[in-house]
Amino acid sequence: MRLTATRGELRKLTAVKQRVRPLYLRNVIRYAGLIGLTVAAIVSGAPTRAFADATLLIDADTGKILQAENAAYPWYPASTTKLMTAYVVLKKVKEGRLSLDTPFTVSAYALSQPPTKMGFKVGTTVTVDNALKMLMVKSANDMAVVLAEGVSGSVENFSTEMNATAARLGMTQTNFVNPHGLPADNHISSARDLAMMARAIFKDIPEYDYYWHLPGIKFGRRIVRNYNKLIDLYPGADGMKTGFVCASGFNLVASATRDNRRLIAVVLGAPSSAVRAYKAAKMLEQGFKGDKLSWLMPSLGTVDQLKPIVAEPPNLREEMCGPKRKRPAAEDEEVDMSSAGENGEPGSPLAFMLSSLHGTVKASQVLAGAVASLPPVEVFIGAFKPKTAQAAEAQESQLAGGRPKKAKGKAKAKTKTAAAATGDKSTDAKPEAAAKADAAKTDATKPDAAKPAAKPAAAKTAAAKPEAKTDAAKPAKPAAVAAPATAPKAQ
């Protein structure tokens, strides 16, 4: 075997080396630059692309950052605002300044809020407990106003309390103008601040964890499942709140616990409800399993150490609700997930995506979920729970548009059969019914087992619209509008 090379062969090898080496060095420099840019973007929180979202994953106990992208960039929080609304209310309950049984009254301004909402008539009374359940599951904007007015006398006063609480928690990028998150000037937060708020909620009021992972609510014949689909589909999910307006995109603050370790994931600006759920689940899964390459990345510190970015929040209205989108995003997309297959049925695209995250968990376990089998929690108006299913259904007369008419005789039976055949859920797209304040008294606590009736005919609401408050000097109170077909316009 010849172990030496001729001069001609050496010249060829040298030529190849001269051609390959610069290419190799360029690739090394290129990849190093990409890594540097990625690290810089993570640390600074600056958006890395024109249509960006913001994501953050932290350990709830330590506040340690596990993943972050654009986390310190200002964002419109939308209905994730309601976490602070519930936090302020429950802190007062814990301190003894308020009771969960305290009744609050629905005002004309509360009823004037755009959907999603319960739609109770003016003068209807709702306890703090029931209002909170409707707030967290239905994301009811009218219940946010009922709580704000009941606790502080007005939306403006309650917003002041919200901001004082945010300042105490170190949420330096946050300013609340209202208790529900509908578009308003200067109503801003960030993934950083929302994660800090979620962490404070778990730390300060652990006795009320129940409210963050309710599977659904039942009012009369109507049932609404939690908009946070991870509650039904992701093992260990135990919170917290979704949100959407055109300007913000689809937002989610999610939490899950495994082996006594709780993680908090924040997704802001996702293009759909299915994407935000999947992104949150993916982050949580990576956090629980650990990243084998994490030693290559520098420590990201704790959530409170993220340096806030001073900038205007991105406005995603064109992408979310503009004419270029085939199906404009809307608030009711959080209820009707038919196009995304996000109704929680086995075989839906979201369920399939979530099942792919679990290497050691059977797909059937993921699809069934740890909470999906739990019944919805019964809610009612007035001070006492109705004794019978009939009494609960009678509370629907407190809807602002009047009580839906029931089908009679054979027509009623056909309606039920058709609903069963199509899988129709009467509560998925319309505001929930209300109830009579003098409902029958009882101490019963178990939800009624009766099956909800078929979807009633839509009630006409135009005749019952209250006069809206439109004082331009009060940005917290946007002008009342009829229930829009899509999400309210972002400012």
pLDDT of 467 > 50? The answer is: no
In a domain, 165, yes or no: yes
In a domain, 416, yes or no: no
Q: For a pLDDT cut of 70, what percent of the chain falls above it?
A: 60
In a domain, 487, yes or no: no
Residue pLDDT, tens place only, 79-95: 999 999 999 999 999 99
Secondary structure, 3-state, the chain: CCCCCCHHHHHHHHHHHHHHHHHHHHHHHHHHHHHHHHHHHHHHCCCCCCCCCEEEEEECCCCEEEEEECCCCEECCHHHHHHHHHHHHHHHHHCCCCCCCCEEECCHHHHCCCCCCCCECCCCEEEHHHHHHHHHHCCCHHHHHHHHHHHHCCHHHHHHHHHHHHHHCCCCCCECCCCCCCCCCCCEEEHHHHHHHHHHHHHHCHHHHHHHHCCEEEECCEEEECCCCHHHHCCCEEEEEEEEECCCEEEEEEEEEECCEEEEEEEEEECCHHHHHHHHHHHHHHHHHCCCCHHHCCCCCEHHHCCCCCCCCCCCHHHHHCCCCCCCCCHHHHCCCCCCCCCCCCCCHHHHHHHCCCCCCCHHHHHHCCCCCCCCEECCCCCCCCCCHHHHHHHHHHECCCCCCCCCHHHHHHHHHHHHHHCCCCCCCCCCCCCCCCCCCCCCCCCCCCCCCCCCCCCCCHHHCCCCCCCCCCCCCCCCCCCCCCCCCCC
pLDDT of residue 309: 96
pLDDT of 202 > 80? The answer is: yes
Q: Which residues are catalytic?
A: 79, 82, 139
Residue entry with tokens 């802190």: 91
In a domain, 86, yes or no: yes
pLDDT of 13 > 70? The answer is: no
Question: What mean pLDDT do residues 275-280 have?
Answer: 94
In a domain, 384, yes or no: yes
Question: What mean pLDDT do residues 101-105 have?
Answer: 97
Instruction: Compute φ and ψ for 279, nearest 5 degrees.
Output: -65, -45
Domains contained in the chain, number: 1
pLDDT of residue 339: 35
Question: What mean pLDDT do residues 465-471 have?
Answer: 39
Output the CA torsion 470→475→480→483 (10° steps): 170
Strand ranges of the sheet holding 377-378, from the earlier edge strand across to the other edge: 222-225, 216-219, 377-378
Question: What mean pLDDT do residues 65-91 have?
Answer: 97
Rounded CA gap, 228 and 334, in Å? 8
Rounded CA gap, 439 and 441, in Å? 6
Identify the top-confidence range among 90-94, 316-320, 395-399.
90-94
CATH of the domain at 209: 3.40.710.10
pLDDT of 134 > 80? The answer is: yes
In DSSP terms, which residues pair with 242 in a beta bridge? Answer: 252
Name the average pLDDT for the chain: 74
pLDDT of residue 387: 86
pLDDT of residue 312: 93
Give the domain range for residue 338. 43-404+426-446
Question: What mean pLDDT do residues 311-323 have?
Answer: 91
pLDDT of residue 254: 98
pLDDT of 452 > 50? The answer is: no
In a domain, 481, yes or no: no
pLDDT of 117 > 70? The answer is: yes
pLDDT of 482 > 90? The answer is: no
Rounded CA gap, 278 and 289, in Å? 16
In a domain, 76, yes or no: yes
Identify the top-confidence range among 67-81, 226-240, 477-491.
67-81
Q: For a pLDDT cut of 90, what percent of the chain falls above it?
A: 51
In a domain, 490, yes or no: no
